[in-house]
Every structure is written in C-alpha cells, then in structure tokens.
C-alpha cells in the first residue's frame, strides 16, 4: 500500500508497505479522506513544537471499517467513521478526572505516531465514531469542528453573550460555528479578505482590525504569540480569553490589564469527547460543512502539491482523497 511520509521538514517521500495488522481491541480501517490541518503545514515547515520526523502526517480522518477484533459490538465492516486521533493512557490524573485531552502521555495519530496519509491504518476500536448519513468529507471534518466545539464549551459561552474570534482559519471558523450555535453575537478579526468574506457567509461581522469594542469572550485562533498577547485587550471586565491556537513561543501578558479586568484565561486543547456531539449536530443540520472544502488533491499528488497549498489564495480547507488506486 502507498504511504506518504514527511521525511523531514519540506520533504515528502512515497513509500510502499504491507497493510497493517489489527491487534486485540483494534480495527483495521481504510482511510478515505484526510483533512489538511494548519498543524500539518507547520510540520511541513518545521515550526511546530511537537512533531518529530520522519512522520506520516494526517489526523483529520474519514474512514471505512475493513475488519474488527472478535467480540466488537456496535461496528461492522463497511461502516463509515470519523477516527478520533487521540490516544490517552486512561490512568494519569487528567484521565481520572475525565479530561483525556490533557493526558500526561497523550499521543496523536499523525503527530506522535504515524497517521492517515496512507491507505490503511489500525486503531483502537473505541476511537471510531460511525455515522449512517454523513459523507466521508464530513467525517474527516469532525476533528477540526471538535476543536471549536471544545473551545466554546471551555469558555461556557452563553446565549446573548458577545464573542470575538481572532483569526478565521479553519480552527477559527469552527469556533465561529459553535459560538453561533450557542446563541452568541459573534464577530471575527481576519486580515485575509477571502476568509473575511467566507466568515461573513455565516452571518458574523467580519473586521480587518479591532474596533475598540470589548467582548464577553475572546477566542484567539491565530497561534501567533504577539497576536495572542494583544487579544487580552479585547476582553471585557470579568470576561474570558480562550487560547485555541498553539505556538512554540512565550506569550507575554499585560498583567496590570489582566488583573484590572479580572479576566479568566483558558487553554483549549484538541477535541476529545466532542466527536459524538459534533456528528449529531452535523446530522441534524445544526452545523453546515458544505462550504468548507474548496481544494482537493489525491494522496499520490501530496509530495508534489502539498508545499503549494498555502500559496493558493482561495484556500479555506484542503482535503486529500485516498481512492482505491492508492491502496495498491
């Protein structure tokens, strides 16, 4: 089967390998769709704080079940699933508190262990979330959408509150959709004209720069340390600031302002626990994924085409299609 490995920053190679064998408690799945995440671009450019090389990237996955361990209940071969990429230990303090996204030894498919840019993958059965109705594209978007769902849940955003989202990349867009679903009045700050226009289609006010209004909750989805520091300035007294984007640099906080407004600061890490909720909301039509994917490429074309994706001004979300020909 074909594997696309990121051997080192900026260099993909194509490998051939036998399909993996699923062990006890695991399933063998056929990867069909791989969403391209901002962290994948950071890994390609060598600026992400977590990735190690070589690595088969890809953690936003829509797949089909091929085979299952004996005794598996609730799944069968042919089921279409979103694959939750987070492998937690189940025993550390965070896991015992039912916060597996903070697991002390958390591993991610496509980040710490090889991920979805290959035809087949074996994974623990409990990480598969099936849907009878969602498309493979939608299933691959569940992980991204779960990032926004978790951030909004962490903030405790309430109906009627005001929310400002800083950055309208895919993560910021996912925050926007769940903030709207919570009944908040949402605005977004984004430099890209294309992304501002896209965000506006969801019914939010799209700004090029801050307008001086203070908001109940500010979500920073930029992953830029300087912008993350400035986002504190947009939070109202007794408000909340949520860092959704991740960066490797130190974020400097204006402590007098932080204390004066008694701001609550949250970190929001990945989307553990959110998969069933997100799938249900898409199935019910509460979250619309149709406009998201506007760039597609085949798995075999990744080595040649991946580096040019960020240069495409129209890019909102790229999806890699892993078709039958790529399984051989």
Residue pLDDT, tens place only, 264-311? 999 999 887 899 999 999 999 999 898 899 999 999 999 999 999 988
Could you tell me if 54 and 84 lie in one domain? Answer: yes
**Predicted pLDDT of residue 325:** 54
**Predicted pLDDT of residue 327:** 54
Domain that holds residue 22: 2-130+292-327
Which CATH number is 179's domain given? 3.40.50.720
Could you tell me if 241 and 179 lie in one domain? Answer: yes
Q: Which stretches of the chain score pLDDT less than 50?
A: 328
Residue pLDDT, tens place only, 196-226? 999 999 999 999 999 999 999 999 999 999 9
Q: Is residue 240 part of a domain?
A: yes
Could you tell me if 106 and 78 lie in one domain? Answer: yes
CA atoms within 13 A on the CB side of 279: 21
Could you tell me if 226 and 300 lie in one domain? Answer: no
Could you tell me if 89 and 168 lie in one domain? Answer: no
CA distance 43 to 63: 23
**Predicted pLDDT of residue 164:** 98
Q: Is residue 77 part of a domain?
A: yes
- 308 Cβ contact list (under 8 Å, min separation 6): none
Q: Is residue 84 part of a domain?
A: yes
Among residues 185, 143, 64, which one has the least CA distance to residue 317? 143
CA distance 128 to 64: 10
- 101 Cβ contact list (under 8 Å, min separation 6): 86, 88, 94, 150, 269, 270, 271, 272, 273
Q: Give me the number of domains the chain comprises.
A: 2
Among residues 275, 42, 25, which one has the least CA distance to residue 143? 275
- Helical pair 170-181 and 136-155, crossing angle rounded to 10 deg: 70
Could you tell me if 204 and 321 lie in one domain? Answer: no
pTM, entire model: 0.94
Could you tell me if 192 and 114 lie in one domain? Answer: no
Q: Is residue 96 part of a domain?
A: yes
Could you tell me if 9 and 99 lie in one domain? Answer: yes
**Predicted pLDDT of residue 30:** 97
Among residues 36, 31, 37, which one has the least CA distance to residue 19? 31
CA angle 115/117/118 to nearest 5° reads 95
């Amino acid at each position: 089967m074909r594997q696309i490995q990121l051997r080192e920053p900026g260099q993909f190679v194509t490998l051939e390998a036998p399909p993996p064998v699923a062990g006890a408690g695991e399933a063998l799945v056929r990867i069909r769709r791989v969403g391209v995440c901002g962290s994948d671009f950071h890994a390609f450019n060598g600026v992400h704080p977590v990735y190690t090389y070589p690595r088969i990237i890809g953690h936003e996955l829509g797949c089909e079940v091929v085979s299952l361990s004996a005794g598996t209940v609730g799944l069968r071969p042919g089921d279409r699933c979103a694959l939750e990429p987070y492998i937690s230990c189940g025993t550390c303090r965070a896991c015992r508190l039912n916060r597996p996204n903070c697991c002390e030894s958390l591993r991610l498919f496509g980040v710490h262990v090889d991920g979805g840019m290959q035809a087949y993958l074996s994974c623990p059965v409990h990480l598969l979330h099936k849907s009878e109705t969602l498309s493979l594209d939608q299933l691959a978007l569940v992980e991204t959408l779960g990032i926004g769902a978790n951030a909004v849940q962490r903030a405790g955003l309430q109906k009627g509150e005001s929310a400002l989202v800083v950055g309208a990349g895919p993560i910021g867009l996912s925050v926007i959709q769940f903030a709207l679903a919570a009944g908040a009045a949402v605005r977004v700050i984004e430099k890209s004209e294309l992304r501002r226009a896209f965000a506006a289609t969801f019914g939010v006010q799209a700004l090029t720069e801050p307008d001086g209004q203070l908001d109940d909750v500010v979500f920073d989805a930029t992953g830029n340390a300087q912008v993350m520091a400035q986002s504190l300035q947009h939070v109202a007294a007794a408000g909340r600031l949520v860092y959704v984007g991740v960066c490797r640099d130190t974020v400097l906080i204006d402590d007098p302002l932080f204390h004066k407004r008694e701001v609550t600061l949250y970190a929001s890490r990945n989307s553990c626990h959110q998969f069933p909720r997100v799938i249900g909301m898409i199935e019910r039509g509460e979250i619309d994924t149709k406009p998201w994917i506007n760039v597609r490429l085949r798995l075999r074309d990744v080595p040649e085409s991946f580096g040019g994706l960020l240069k495409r001004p129209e890019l909102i979300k790229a999806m890699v299609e892993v078709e039958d020909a790529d399984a051989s």
